[in-house]
Amino acid sequence: MNSNDTVPVLELKDVKVYHRSRTGSLFRPNIVKAVDGVNFTVRRGETVGIVGESGCGKSTLASVLVGLQEPTAGQMLFHGKPVKSRKDAARKQFGRDVSVVFQDPSTALNSRMTIQDILLDPLQIHGIGNEQSRLARVRELLSVVGLPQSAAEVIPSQVSGGQRQRVAIARALALEPSVIVADEPTSALDVSVRAQVLNLLSDLKRELNLGMVFISHDIQTVRYVSDRICVMYFGKIVEEGTATQIFDHPANDYTKKLLGAAPSLLHT
Ligand SMILES: Nc1ncnc2c1ncn2[C@@H]1O[C@H](COP(=O)(O)OP(=O)(O)OP(=O)(O)O)[C@@H](O)[C@H]1O
């Protein structure tokens, strides 16, 4: 870890995301506290897992972390500085530095573009290099995620689900981010390829000194990849610790319940 790694790439301070629910009346709306006062950090070189049941606010938190959702209250810091509105100049750097891998690569990738064009897209949008260097970067990205060079020529539906998620990971890496937010990245995949994709993410984190936010409803999967685990319940982080602390000495009743209900690794 060098000195830059001591400042979190992303930090949330008492972040809240509240929605008006469809129930309730105009005068007395019901408020859904999707994220309710979350403090969170992620640094380069660490994987922070966020685990909790469906509806606890994981995806909302992910969308705040990648800049898709403005918090109702609280603050997000990027390399120690507040991230302001979408028009803020720092947002461009933010867009390069924080990338996302979604649950389902079938919907996350443009089905009509070749894999080469999918990987060229972020490089072109950010005006990186020339045509030749961009094509070289595509070849490098394919190799980094363990895909054959021939994959460049085909469209996403012509490769397997696991390979499609590798394409999504390659796209997330294209701009050399500091942090990747992976929201249920293995849940839509066949059980037989989940461990391969998890191992790829862990290897990339180590080799590229990435920060990783790994979000899943499955505590065993989170344990497999995470250095630190945050347990989420009804919009709040109710417990945080290393995998050993959480698994061997859970302090919170909800964590204990999650552990009690945890199915065997990677098989949900
Ligand atoms: N735009 C919205 N309007 C109203 N309620 C919302 C909105 N977005 C999310 N919610 C509610 O906020 C809560 C948290 O949702 P979120 O999708 O973040 O949870 P989650 O833990 O990711 O669940 P899942 O794993 O099922 O996606 C849920 O009760 C959800 O219904």
Q: How far is the CA of 145 from the centre of ligand 1 (A)?
A: 31
Task: Kindly list the structural domains of the chain, giving each domain's residue range(s) and its CATH number in brackets, ordered by start.
Answer: 3-261 (3.40.50.300)
Q: How far is the CA of 60 from the centre of ligand 1 (A)?
A: 6
Per-residue model confidence as pLDDT tens digits over 43-82: 999 999 999 999 999 999 999 999 999 999 999 999 999 8
Look at residue 5 in the predicted model and tell me its pLDDT: 60
Residue identifier of the C-alpha nearest atom 17 of ligand 1:
59
Question: How far from chain centre, in Å, is Cα 172?
Answer: 10
Residue identifier of the C-alpha nearest atom 14 of ligand 1:
57
pLDDT band at 3; cut points 50, 70, 90: very low
Q: Which two tokens stand for residue 243?
A: 């995998």
Look at residue 131 in the predicted model and tell me its pLDDT: 95
Per-residue model confidence as pLDDT tens digits over 243-252: 999 999 999 9
Look at residue 215 in the predicted model and tell me its pLDDT: 97
Q: State how far the alpha carbon of 159 is from the alpha carbons of 131, 153, 163, 219, 262, in Å.
A: 25, 11, 6, 29, 32
Lateral strand order in the sheet of 179-183: 98-101, 179-183, 211-216, 47-51, 228-233, 236-242
Per-residue model confidence as pLDDT tens digits over 164-178: 999 999 999 999 999
| Ligand 1 neighbour 103 (Cβ under 6 A) | no
Per-residue model confidence as pLDDT tens digits over 86-136: 566 667 788 899 999 999 888 889 999 999 999 999 999 999 999 999 999
Ligand 1: nearest atom to the Cα of 20: 4
The residue type found at 57 is G
Mean pLDDT of 31-46: 96
ipTM for this prediction? 0.95
Q: How far is the CA of 61 from the centre of ligand 1 (A)?
A: 10
What's the CA gap between 229 and 249, in Å, rounded?
A: 13
Look at residue 45 in the predicted model and tell me its pLDDT: 95
| Ligand 1 neighbour 65 (Cβ under 6 A) | no
What's the CA gap between 264 and 251, in Å, rounded?
A: 22
Look at residue 86 in the predicted model and tell me its pLDDT: 58
Residue identifier of the C-alpha nearest atom 1 of ligand 1:
19
The residue type found at 162 is G
| Ligand 1 neighbour 166 (Cβ under 6 A) | no
| Ligand 1 neighbour 57 (Cβ under 6 A) | yes
| Ligand 1 neighbour 30 (Cβ under 6 A) | no
| Ligand 1 neighbour 19 (Cβ under 6 A) | yes
What percent of the chain shows pLDDT beyond 70?
90
Weakest mean pLDDT among 41-50, 78-87, 216-225: 78-87
Q: Report yes or no: 165 and 89 within 8 Å, Cβ to Cβ.
A: no
Tell me the DSSP string of the chain. --GGGGS-SEEEEEEEEEEEEEEE-SSSEEEEEEEEEEEEEE-TT-EEEEE--TTSSHHHHHHHHTTSS--SEEEEEETTEE---TT-THHHHHHHHEEEE-S-HHHHS-TTS-HHHHHHHHHHHTT-S-HHHHHHHHHHHHHHTT--GGGGGS-GGGS-HHHHHHHHHHHHHTT--SEEEEESTTTTS-HHHHHHHHHHHHHHHHHHT-EEEEEES-HHHHHHH-SEEEEEETTEEEEEEEHHHHHHS--SHHHHHHHHH--STT--
Q: Which residues pair with 49 in a beta bridge?
A: 214, 229
What's the CA gap between 90 and 146, in Å, rounded?
A: 33
What percent of the chain shows pLDDT beyond 90?
78
Q: How far is the CA of 34 from the centre of ligand 1 (A)?
A: 6
Residue identifier of the C-alpha nearest atom 30 of ligand 1:
55
Per-residue model confidence as pLDDT tens digits over 185-199: 999 898 889 999 999
